[in-house]
Amino acid sequence: MTTNDLSLQDDDYGALTYRNIERIRLGKYEFNTWFGNSTIFFPNEPDTLACKIIRNNIRISGSKRKLEEYASTMRPWLKLLHICPYCFKYTDNEKEMKEHTNGCPLKFHLMGKVMYCDGEVTVRKVKGSRHRLFCQCLCILAKFFLENKSVFFNLEHYDFYVLYKVLDGISTPMGFFSKELLSWEGNNLSCIMVIPCYQKQHLGTKLIDFSYRLSQFEQVVSGPERPFSSLGKIAYLRYWSGRLCLHFLYGRLSTYRHVTLKFVSQQTGFRMEDILMALNFMNTFYVNGKKRPYSEYCLQNLNEDDDCVCTEEIKQANKQTIFGYDGYNLFIDKSRMKQWVVDHKISDSPVLKKEYLILY
98-127 pLDDT tens trace: 999 999 999 989 999 999 999 999 999 999
CA distance 45 to 61: 7
At residue 69, the pLDDT reads: 83
Is pLDDT above 60 for 96?
yes
SS3 26: strand
Q: In the chain, what are the domains?
A: 4-102 (3.30.60.60), 113-234+352-356 (3.40.630.30), 242-343 (no CATH)
Instruction: Check if the beta carbon of residue 235 is closer than 8 Å to that of residue 266.
Output: no
Query: What's the pLDDT at 140?
Result: 92
Which residue type, as a one-letter code, is found at position 157?
H
Q: What is the pTM of this model?
A: 0.86
Helices (H), 106-201: 132-143
H or E element at residue 78 = strand 78-83
Percent composition of the chain: helix, strand, coil (DSSP 3-state, to 5): 35, 20, 45
User: Percent of the chain having pLDDT more than 70?
Assistant: 83
Output 41 or 203, whichever has higher pLDDT: 203
Please determine, for residue 180, whether its predicted confidence score (pLDDT) is greater than 90: yes
pLDDT band at 5; cut points 50, 70, 90? very low
* 3-state class (DSSP) for residue 247: helix
Q: Which range (219-233, 238-252, 275-289) has the least confidence?
A: 275-289
Burial class (CB in 10 A: 0-12, 13-18, 19+), 40: buried
Q: How confident is the model at residue 322 (pLDDT cuts 50, 70, 90)?
A: low
**Residue of higher predicted confidence among 209 and 41:** 209
pLDDT for the residue 323: 59
* Total count of residues recorded for the chain: 360
Say what the pLDDT of residue 282 is: 93
Per-residue pLDDT at 257: 75
In the predicted structure, residue 287 carries a pLDDT above the cut 90: no
Flag whether pLDDT at 307 surpasses 50.
no
User: If you average pLDDT over every residue of the chain, what do you get?
Assistant: 83
Q: Which of 69, 99, 180, 225 is catalytic?
A: 225
Please indicate whether residue 225 is annotated as part of the active site.
yes
| pLDDT, mean of residues 300-311 | 38
